[in-house]
Amino acid sequence: MSAFGLVISITIPILVLLGIVVFVSKQQQKKLGQKARARAIKDFVIELTEAFEFLLKVDNQKEIQTLILSRIQQLNDRYVDSLPKELQSGASAVDINELKQKLANGGNKKSILTSDREIRYAKKQFSKILKSFGPMIKSKMVSEATIMEFRRYLRISVLEMEVDSFTAQGDLAAQRGDVTSASGYYKEARKHLINFKLQYSEKNERIKSLASKTAALFNGGEEEQGSLAKGLSEEEPEKDEHGFPVDPNEDTKQKF
């Protein structure tokens, strides 16, 4: 055999072997990429499921809950499709049937959050739901107008839960005679309502109610026009026939 023939006889098997190695390596990389994408989708499905289950516990808006479950099911199907074919059979990121059963059992109307930690958790879960709406519009699962309505509803809902929490803590502080703490909680609740950009029918009534509760702290618990209520509304104090305040504790300095 010539030298050239010897080189060819050695080179061809090596090239074939290298080709096999490259092919196997690419297949492995492909599978690793598939698994990484599948894992990312699965993580998102699990996070959205956590938000969905929280929503079931604190609210009873079936239309939103049904939409979120549809999105979870869509993402779960995408997760299964992203897996290598040999792993797809029987795969699922979450138990869809169990979630359907939970939805069928119904959610509860808004509940009182008892701590700052629970408020932060509620905001986190509602944020996940709000972020999930964007892709639904792009995929035309639902109209943009409907999503706008749902976003408004959820933002108001989480605000109301937050305000309810501060109000409840204020009520408890008032019951034990801690006027300073109670006033602080009511003030915080009012601040959240006032700073909230969206307008809705109950907003002003809640602000007035909290002002009344604050006033009641300083007038023996009676929610009526007392000294603080008069001060807040900037009404003039009662005066006798000589022009002096009837209340001896009233500041007698002239105001210009």
Q: Indicate if 105 and 116 belong to the same structural domain.
A: no
- Specify whether the CB–CB gap between 80 and 160 falls below 8 A: no
Looking at residue 94, its amino acid is V
- Specify whether the CB–CB gap between 215 and 226 falls below 8 A: yes
Rounded distance, CA 58 to CA 75, Å? Answer: 24
Q: Indicate if 138 and 153 belong to the same structural domain.
A: yes
Residue 172 lies in a domain: yes
- Specify whether the CB–CB gap between 158 and 116 falls below 8 A: no
Say how many Å lie between the first and final Cα of the chain, rounded.
119
68: left (phi over 0), alpha (psi -120 to 50) or beta: alpha
Q: Indicate if 124 and 212 belong to the same structural domain.
A: yes
Q: Indicate if 56 and 148 belong to the same structural domain.
A: no
**CATH number (domain holding residue 117):** 1.20.58
- Give the residue from 16, 72, 10 showing the smallest Cα distance to 44: 72
Confidence (pTM): 0.68
Rounded distance, CA 203 to CA 187, Å? Answer: 15
137: containing domain: 112-220
Q: Indicate if 103 and 117 belong to the same structural domain.
A: no
Query: How large is the C-alpha radius of gyration of the chain?
Result: 32
pLDDT tens, per residue, the chain with 256 residues: 566 566 666 677 776 666 676 666 666 666 666 677 888 899 999 999 999 999 998 888 899 999 999 999 999 999 999 888 888 888 899 999 999 999 998 766 656 777 888 889 999 999 999 999 998 988 888 899 999 999 999 999 999 999 999 999 999 999 999 999 999 999 999 999 999 999 998 999 999 999 999 999 887 654 543 333 333 334 444 444 444 444 444 444 433 2
Q: Indicate if 29 and 97 belong to the same structural domain.
A: yes
Give the chain's domain count: 2
Q: Indicate if 95 and 119 belong to the same structural domain.
A: no
Which of 93, 109, 125 is the last residue before a domain boundary? Answer: 109
Residue found by looking up tokens 């009344």 in the block = 212
